[in-house]
Structure 1
Amino acid sequence: ENLEKKYDILKSYFRYWAYQSIGNFRLYKAFWKEYNNAIEPLEKYFKSNFNFDKGSNIYYTSNALNEFLNWAVGETKIYKDISPLAKIMSNKNYSVSYIQDFIFSNNPSQDDLTIALQAALLNQREKEILELLIRFGARIDEGYESVIFYALENYENTNFLIQNGANVNQANAFGKTPLFYAIEFNRLDIIKLLLDNGANVNQKYINNNEKLALSANIGSNTPYFITFCALEHTSKNVLMHAAAYGNVEILKLLISKGANFNAVDDLGFNALDFALAAGKKENADYLKSLGLKANENLFYGDSLE
């Protein structure tokens, strides 16, 4: 029973962590997909190797998989979960009228409504729900990452937020704007949408001096799971990011929109160096064709961030 309680706490905290950013949410979804895919093969394994009855199969399977949960989430002192309203957003069985009744009955704060809007966007809920939350007071351009960041796997919802005044150049503490994420997700349609609505094609991560200042003064606007130590490539620009995460089509689009392909980050990496470090041969060949040269003095370590 204690073990069961422990896993429930881990699952709740994992969900809470997932809803803090779109990057976290993608990892969370990928984990549960693998977890669920492993249930049937594991049950078969226990049945054929140990001849357990069905109840025992389920017991040993869930214990084995929960060890992976334990390993993925680790020990936590944070006993938190998402709010009841955010939970409603994650369940597509709840209708717009149900959500409206819930809001009338519970009178959630503006912060709760904004967090619910983030949850609705992560779960790619329909426009009527987004409109409802905004009408009741959810804020569009506040937070470490504003709500547009949470929409970046859904073209319609990203466009809806832009039409409602979302700032396409909103940057998080690292200087990362929605355009960086759309490139990471290889969403050419959303990259075009952002650029057509004024996204800065030459946006950069913060520089090293800004990083040092922020690290010394880590505070109010930075979530608990963010560490500036993770940022090595200060002053990395959009094109460098695309060289590491995108494809030639994305690179061509960015350059056609005025991306500076001669820029270097604070470690001396140019876009070609990023393509080579990421093992993106086609990107590297294309960037070489533009006349870029690799910096021979660089060591391509693990991090592209």
Structure 2
Amino acid sequence: MELEVRHLRALCAIADAGSLHKAARQLGMSQPSLSTQLRRIENALGAELFQRGSTGCRPTPLGHAVLSRARPLVAEMSALVREARATVARAGDRRLRIGSTASRALAGWLRRLRQRLPDGTELSLHMNVSANALLRMVAAGHLDVAFVHEVEGCPLRMPDGLEQRVLVEREPQFISMARDHPAAAAPVVDLTDLGEDHWMVDPTVDGEWDGLRRVLAAAGIDPPVLHADYHTAASLIVVGEAVAPCQPTSGPRDDMAIRPLRNDPLAVRLLLCRRPGGSEETYALVYAELAAAYREAALRASTYRQWLLRNKSPLLQAPAA
């Protein structure tokens, strides 16, 4: 087996993420596939490159030696790809590659961009639960812009040179629960009212678990926590088996209640990021249409709209024509 750049990129991802699970998510592949690939690489070299344990993967001495040679090669290949793509862009290729974490504003944003961008512009969307992975893709030239959220108290690892614009400085995170949950009877929920519930959180979302753990500890409660993705969480929430943080723009459901938390202890910052050097006019348009789409999504969600009214949010003001 001859080592290829994709193998070296996988080794770097495992070392950076500290676990096969997180590295697989960042690489867009399954954990079993990455585990198999790592075993083949180690078999080809005749020794282990990582020590596996309950706390994740750590490079062995040989692993450190291989990584020291692999990283410059991966960086050089990434630079080569960036330069080639920049050459294509300068030749007149019209495209906009968007990365995003999950957001109710996405559909409206894409619809608006298709209406406003020049005819023939190719739009593509890359979704990822990891904001840090999207930012790395922007820095490497694989994406033009990324719309990401940063959990309060858990700063993102912003690559050097990226430009960022703040869409929302502090977006409160609401709580989703079963429609017949006792706390759902109130318009605003106290954290202590949920101290006996199972909380669901996706640990692969950058900062999500650390941010929630900090807020729960500050409230003096230590509820049982389940780790899973939020699609799985919904099926447990509706039957009363769990509660979970959610975006305030989440739409209403007949089988689920969405409520704000008193004093808004959970929050994120919404950012649009790009590499410098592109068209300032296009970037301004992309940001303006994102802001408009987010406002639409915010006002459509009745619980969030009521929160905006109580807090006299500037989002309630229509943008200038």
TM range (shorter): under 0.3
Q: TM-score when scaled to structure 2?
A: 0.26
TM-score by length of 1: 0.27
Query: Which protein has the bigger helix share?
Result: 1
The structure with the greater share of residues assigned to strand is 2
Higher relative CO (Cα under 8 Å, sequence separation at least 6) belongs to 2
